[in-house]
Amino acid sequence: MKLFQRRNLPWYSLIILAIFLFHIFGGFFRLMEKKFSKDFNYPYDVKLKQLVDRMMIGEKYTPLNEFQYSIDSYGPYICKNPARLLFLVKSAAKNYRRRNIIRKTWGSPVHYESVKTVFLVGETTSKSVNMMVVRENEILKDLVLGNYIDSYYNLTLKTMTGLKWASEICSQNVEYFMFVDDDYYVSTKNILKFLNDPYTYPGTEFDVKNVTNIDTDEFCLYTGFVYKKERPIRKIFCKWFIPLKDYPYDFWPPYSTGGAYILSRKSLRMMNYASLFTKPIRLEDVYIGLLAYRLGIQPVSNNENFKMEAKYDFEGYRHVLAAHGFQEPRKLWMVWKEQSLADQNSSLGS
């Protein structure tokens, strides 16, 4: 018997190893997932669309997911005058250099009069960094400070901060709102052109309902680089791992990457109200997709010009709306300068 066990020990080890790998790579979780197409019912169990519609006309309801963090900003100063577009830039507290180059390039009101820019910033465990951020805001008055810890897994809180603050402070005077990370290049000129008619801009996919009356108080725009049929990551060792208790379904609803997406005024206000009755999930881009899906807002995808990772090419960037991969301020400055100069020459030529 012992000889038999010794001979088979390598096989037992391989079986145990295979079961272990199957588990950490999410195999068992996959087997237990529910069907999104049949069983989807994300908490909280309320008639969300009807509830939000009533809140849009002024009715009050007690939130199931109350926002418990304080927000500090120079709101009345920032949104005093009407604007076509407000950039809400998600920025880590330590990233002063990135914020500064954005203030001088695509987020500058000097270059784009109908555009305003604010930076969504949380707190750190460093008192000196927190003090520097407060001082920065006192001087420049363009930060929206939340008293949550500024971390990757708190990006949903940062996004909820942006929804709440912009809806309450700026939705009367601003037509469109673009949430964008501080390591993005944005062509503000192209964004403004895109907003004149998102459905006919180069690269917009045609599987969306065409809206002819583009009134920010009447139609719901949610647009960016859209993932249409993504599965939750169940690999235990991955930073995007989602356990079944948080999300038991086999697919996510369609959602735009959180790096850069645009909401119309109505979408922003509806999503802010919807967030009060929708359980948060730590993936911020998925959370916005969940809000949109529960509200019946279909994302408009332009994956050609909302770029995730793309090596810079002068001609290839002529229609680009936003592009990821600009961690270095110097690189952002060079690309923005070259594209802006080309725009000026084109205007002179015409």
311 membership: H or E segment, kind and range: none
pLDDT > 90? residue 282: yes
Cis amide prior to 44 (ω within 30 degrees): yes
The neighbouring-strand residues paired with 121 are: 145
* C-alpha–C-alpha distance, residues 16 and 5, integer Å: 15
Residues 146-170 pLDDT 10s:
999 999 999 999 999 999 999 999 9
Residues 283-311 pLDDT 10s:
999 999 999 999 999 999 999 999 988 78
Q: List the end-to-end C-alpha distance of the chain, in Å, as a whole number.
A: 91
Q: Are strands 222-227 and 255-264 parallel, antiparallel or unpaired?
A: antiparallel
Residues 54-95 pLDDT 10s:
999 999 999 999 889 999 999 888 999 999 999 999 999 999
The average pLDDT across 213-227 equals 85
Nearest in space to 108 (alpha carbons), one of 336, 268, 298:
336
pTM over 0.85: yes
Give the type of residue at 300: V
In this prediction, residue 174 carries a pLDDT of 96
Query: What does the block give as tokens for 50?
Result: 């009807």
Residues 331-350 pLDDT 10s:
999 999 999 988 876 655 54
pLDDT band at 327 (very low <50, low <70, confident <90, very high): very high
**DSSP, residue by residue, 176-192:** EEEEEETTEEE-HHHHH
* C-alpha–C-alpha distance, residues 243 and 284, integer Å: 16
Query: What does the block give as tokens for 149?
Result: 């810890």
**Residue partners of 93: CB distance under 8 A and separation at least 6:** 121, 122, 123, 124, 129, 130, 133, 150
97 membership: H or E segment, kind and range: helix 96-104
The neighbouring-strand residues paired with 261 are: 179, 224
* C-alpha–C-alpha distance, residues 194 and 171, integer Å: 20
Cis amide prior to 312 (ω within 30 degrees): no
Mean model confidence pLDDT for the chain: 91
pLDDT > 60? residue 124: yes
Pick the range with the lowest mean pLDDT from 17-26, 101-110, 224-233. 17-26
With the CA atoms of 242, 327, 191 and 150 taken in that order, what torsion angle do they form, in degrees rounded to the nearest 10?
50
